[in-house]
Amino acid sequence: MSEDYLSDPNIGLRLIPEQASRHAEGVDMLYFALLGFSALLVTVLVGLVVTFGFRYRAGKTFRRRVTASHVGHRVEVGFALSLGVVFMALFAWAGKLYLNVYANTPAQATLNVVAKQWMWKVQHPDGTREINTLHVPANQSVRLRITSQDVIHSFSVPALRLKRDAVPGLYTSVTFVADKPGEYRLFCAEYCGTDHSRMRGKMVVMAPSDYQNWLTRNGTGTTPAAAGKALFRSYGCSGCHMGESSVRAPSLDGVYGRSVALANGGIIIADEAYLRDSIMRPQKHIVAGYQPVMPSFSGQISESDVLQIIAYLQSLKPGDWRTEAP
Ligand code: CUA
């Protein structure tokens, strides 16, 4: 990556970056509303302080000082209530914007982003991989499933008004529609060690047909689910979960999205987080009727491999394993 893109007017630093996603305008409106409201409040309060400072300054005499007990609490209560209403309205507005982007909503394409010191590793739905660059189709909903291999990082693309922490052991997500083809800067926005400042890249927004061409040119032809299937065997998962070994482990075809009864009486939905926990921290949730014998794969398997195994499990439908030999 060359340094000259720092001065590129399209992606260089500016106070307010250009708006390159569908939700960018809403975010900016909220930002300016907060700024405007804060400025108004500061003006009124400082104005009152200065006015009263002059009006009631030392040496000036008054016929009668009005005390709070004479006027009651109408002014205070009115001021506090109206401020409360305004702030709750701002909260609701911001909450709606937040959920729009950060709730775990399905999208037309889901990309995996794994952060590590000090790079961004990306995998596209068809298996194509890239590092520190993120190609996405314009005008389509794109979801990024973000996690970290080591410490906390933060995925930040100012032009798309996106910022989401990459947390080890957790899947976070952003869903957005980029609506302006171009190149935009990607930063790590959480101090993560020596080369934090170098942990950056770019997001390349392309017309959907260009994106498809790009995938065809760079793809490997192996989808995450197919790669996950191979990993499922090479890590030995299939031995207990599919085979007829002496160890009895839950069958996993169709497990994704199903509710699972746990040994402690609880019930959990088998989502991405549950599947990851089951691989990395198998003692966390013991499935009812099974022994806690699964070894932890923490430290032995990369986050990218976990994501691919999850993609494989997601691709399975109930009964799939009955039709194929283990
Ligand atoms: Cu990664 Cu800062």
d(CA 235, CA 227): 12
Residues 83, 114: one domain?
Answer: no
Q: Is the CB of 27 under 6 A from ligand 1?
A: no
Computed over its alpha carbons, how large is the radius of gyration of the chain?
27
Give 72-102 as a 3 state SS string: CCHHHHHHHHHHHHHHHHHHHHHHHHHHHHH
Residue 295: inside a domain, yes or no?
yes
Among 78, 102, 126, give the residue marking a domain's end: 102
Residues 117, 207: one domain?
Answer: yes
pLDDT at residue number 196: 92
Q: What tokens does 110 get?
A: 């889901």
pLDDT at residue number 246: 60
- The CA 9 to ligand 1 mean position distance, Å, reads 24
pTM: 0.74
Q: Is the CB of 116 under 6 A from ligand 1?
A: no
- What is the number of the ligand 1 atom nearest to the C-alpha of 193? 2
Residue 61: inside a domain, yes or no?
yes
Residues 292, 240: one domain?
Answer: yes
Question: At 294, is the secondary structure helix, strand, or coil?
Answer: coil
CA angle 57–63–64, rounded 5-degree value: 90
Q: Is the CB of 192 under 6 A from ligand 1?
A: yes
Residues 204, 114: one domain?
Answer: yes
Query: Which residue, by CA, sits nearest to atom 1 of ligand 1?
Result: 153
Residues 154, 234: one domain?
Answer: no
Residue 247: inside a domain, yes or no?
yes
d(CA 142, CA 39): 36
Residues 244, 147: one domain?
Answer: no
Task: Report the interhelical angle of 303-315 vs 272-280 (nearest 10°).
Answer: 130
Q: Identify the domain containing residue 53 by its residue range.
A: 24-102
pLDDT at residue number 4: 53
Residue 280: inside a domain, yes or no?
yes
pLDDT at residue number 2: 46
- What is the number of the ligand 1 atom nearest to the C-alpha of 197? 2
Among 183, 218, 253, give the residue marking a domain's end: 218
Give, in order, the Cα–Cα distances in Å from 11 to each of 5, 29, 179, 250, 287.
7, 21, 15, 50, 50
For residue 129, the cross-strand partners are 123
- The CA 229 to ligand 1 mean position distance, Å, reads 31
Residues 129, 196: one domain?
Answer: yes
pLDDT at residue number 1: 43
Residues 200, 131: one domain?
Answer: yes
- Number of domains, the chain: 3
- What is the number of the ligand 1 atom nearest to the C-alpha of 189? 2
Question: At 267, is the secondary structure helix, strand, or coil?
Answer: strand
pLDDT at residue number 292: 79
Q: Is the CB of 196 under 6 A from ligand 1?
A: yes
What CATH number does residue 174 fall under?
A: 2.60.40.420
Residues 246, 276: one domain?
Answer: yes
Give, in order, the Cα–Cα distances in Å from 304 to each of 105, 116, 119, 232.
21, 11, 13, 13
Give every residue of the chain whose pLDDT is below 50, as ranges: 1-2, 326
Question: At 7, is the secondary structure helix, strand, or coil?
Answer: coil
Residues 83, 49: one domain?
Answer: yes
Residue 173: inside a domain, yes or no?
yes
Residue carrying structure tokens 């506090």: 80
Reported as type and span, the H/E element at residue 228 is: helix 224-234
Q: What tokens does 284 get?
A: 């966390």
Residues 116, 214: one domain?
Answer: yes
Report cis status (omega within 30 of 0) of the bond before 93.
Answer: no
Residues 87, 117: one domain?
Answer: no
- What is the number of the ligand 1 atom nearest to the C-alpha of 153? 1
Residue 11: inside a domain, yes or no?
no
Among 218, 238, 260, give the residue marking a domain's end: 218
> Phi and psi of 196, rounded to 5°?
-50, -45
Q: What tokens does 285 get?
A: 């949730």
Residue 12: inside a domain, yes or no?
no
Contact 154, 184 (CB under 8 A): no
- The CA 47 to ligand 1 mean position distance, Å, reads 43
Residue 13: inside a domain, yes or no?
no
